[in-house]
Chain A
Amino acid sequence: MLKFVVRRVLWTIPVVLLVILMTFLMMRQIGGNPFRTSERAVPPAILENLEKKYHVDEPWWKQYLYYTQGVFTLDFGPSLTLRNQSVNDVIKERFPVSLKLGMFAMLWALVLGIPLGIIAALKPNTILDYITMSFVNIGYALPNFLVSTLLIYFLAVRLKDQTGLPTNGWAGPSTWILPAIALGHAPMTIFARITRGSMLETLQQDYIRTAKAKGLRWRRVVGVHVLRNSLIPVVTAAAPLLGFLITGSFIVESIFGIPGIGRYYVISVAGRDYAIVLGITVLLAVIIIFANMVVDILYGYLDPRIRDART
Chain B
Amino acid sequence: MRKGTRWSLWAGALVAIAIIVVGSAAGGNQQRAQNLRVIDLGVASTLDPGLATDTTSSNAIQALFEPLVRFGPPPQLKAVPAAAESWTVKGNAVTIKLRKDLRWTNGQQVTAADYVYSWLRAISPELASEYAYQFFGIRGAEAYNSCKENCAALRSQVAVKALNKTTFQVTLISPQAWFIQQLNHDSFIPVHRATVEKFGEKWTEPENIVTFGPFKLASWTKDAEMVLVKNPKWRGASSVKLNKVTITGLSDAATAENAYSAGNADINEYDLTAALVDKWKKSKEYKTVGTIGTYYYGFNVKNIPDVNQRRAMAFAIDRKAIIKFVTKGGQFPARAFTPNKAPGAKEINKNSIMPQVAKLAQAKAFMAKAKNPKLNVNLYFNTSTGHAAIATAVQAYWKELGITTTLKNMEFGQYLDFLGPPPNSDVDVYRLGWIYDYPDAYNGFELWTCDSGNNNTGWCNKKYDAIVDKAARTPDESARFKLYQQAETMLTGANGALPIMPIYWYVYHSLVKPYVQGWALDLIGRTDYTKISLA
Q: What residues of chain A have their CB less than 8 Å away from a CB belonging to chain B?
A: 30-33, 35-46, 48-50, 52-53, 78, 81-85, 90, 93-94, 149, 152-153, 156-157, 160, 166-171, 254-259, 263-264, 270-272
Contacts and interface: CB of A to CB of B under 8 A. Distances in A.
Interface in B236-260: 248-252, 254-255, 258-259
Contact of A160 (B54, B205, B262): B262
Interface pairs A-B: 8 shortest CB-CB: A32-B413, A41-B453, A45-B146, A259-B224, A49-B128, A167-B259, A257-B250, A254-B251
A83 B255 contact: no
B204 interface: yes
A162 to B, nearest CB: 12
Contacts of B202: 84
Contact of B46 (A32, A50, A84, A263): A84
A85 B133 CA distance: 24
Contacts of B133: 43, 46
Contact of A39 (B47, B130, B261, B433): B433
Contacts of A272: 413
Interface in B313-344: none
A259 B262 CA distance: 21
B331 to A, nearest CB: 17
A198 B202 CA distance: 54
A263 B222 CA distance: 13
Given A85-B222, A257-B248, A30 B413 contact: yes
Nearest to B437: A40
Interface size class of B (residues with CB under 8 A): 35 or more
B250 to A, nearest CB: 4
Contacts of B452: 41
Contacts of B223: 94, 259, 264
B306 to A, nearest CB: 27
A40 B454 contact: yes
A82 B46 contact: yes
B145 interface: yes
Contacts of A157: 258, 261-262
Contacts of A81: 45
B142 interface: yes
B264 interface: yes
B130 A31 contact: no
A84 B206 CA distance: 13
A46 B129 contact: yes
B250 A168 contact: yes
A82 B434 contact: no
10 contacts: A39-B432, A53-B128, A84-B203, A149-B255, A156-B258, A156-B262, A169-B225, A255-B255, A257-B249, A257-B255
Contact of A258 (B132, B224, B411): B224
A83 B145 CA distance: 18
A257 B263 contact: no
B416 A32 contact: yes
B201 interface: yes
B439 to A, nearest CB: 17
B515 interface: no
Nearest to B455: A41
A50 B125 CA distance: 8
A255 B256 CA distance: 9
B283 interface: no
A31 B417 contact: yes
B417 A149 contact: no
A167 B262 contact: yes
A33 to B, nearest CB: 7
Contacts of A170: 224
Nearest to B249: A257
A2 B417 CA distance: 52
A41 B204 CA distance: 27
B271 interface: no
B222 A93 contact: yes
B51 interface: yes
B412 interface: yes
A9 to B, nearest CB: 33
Contact of A35 (B130, B261, B434): B130
A82 B45 contact: yes
A78 B46 CA distance: 14
Most buried by B among A40, A52, A263: A40
Contacts of A166: 262, 264
Given A259-B221, A259-B222, A270 B412 contact: yes
A120 B113 CA distance: 76
B440 interface: no
A309 to B, nearest CB: 48
Contact of B264 (A35, A46, A168): A168
B430 to A, nearest CB: 11
A201 to B, nearest CB: 42
Contact of B416 (A33, A93, A156): A33
B269 interface: no
Contacts of B453: 41-44
B263 A84 contact: no
B369 to A, nearest CB: 32
A255 B128 contact: no
A259 B254 CA distance: 18
B53 interface: yes
Given A50-B128, A149-B255, A149-B258, 4 more contacts: A81-B45, A157-B262, A255-B251, A257-B251
B132 A46 contact: yes
A52 B151 CA distance: 16
A92 B189 CA distance: 31
A30 B414 contact: yes
A42 B433 CA distance: 16
Contact of B413 (A31, A52, A257): A31
Nearest to A84: B201
A41 B454 contact: yes
Given A36-B416, A45-B145, A156-B262, A167 B45 contact: no
B48 interface: yes
A160 B262 CA distance: 7
A105 to B, nearest CB: 18
A77 B261 CA distance: 42
A43 B53 CA distance: 14
Interface in B188-232: 201-205, 221-225
Contacts of A52: 128
A46 B145 contact: yes
Given A45-B145, A168-B264, A256 B413 contact: no
Given A35-B130, A39-B454, A255-B255, A169 B262 contact: no
A283 B326 CA distance: 43
Most buried by A among B48, B132, B432: B132
Nearest to B42: A267
A45 B142 contact: yes
Contacts of A30: 411, 413-414
A207 to B, nearest CB: 52
Interface in B136-177: 142, 145-146
Contacts of B225: 169, 171, 259
Most buried by A among B133, B248, B258, B434: B258
B46 A153 contact: no
B259 A83 contact: no
Nearest to A44: B453
Contacts of A84: 46-48, 51, 201-205
A272 B417 CA distance: 12
Contacts of B222: 82, 85, 90, 93-94, 259
Contacts of A257: 224, 248-252, 255
Nearest to A34: B413
A169 B248 contact: yes
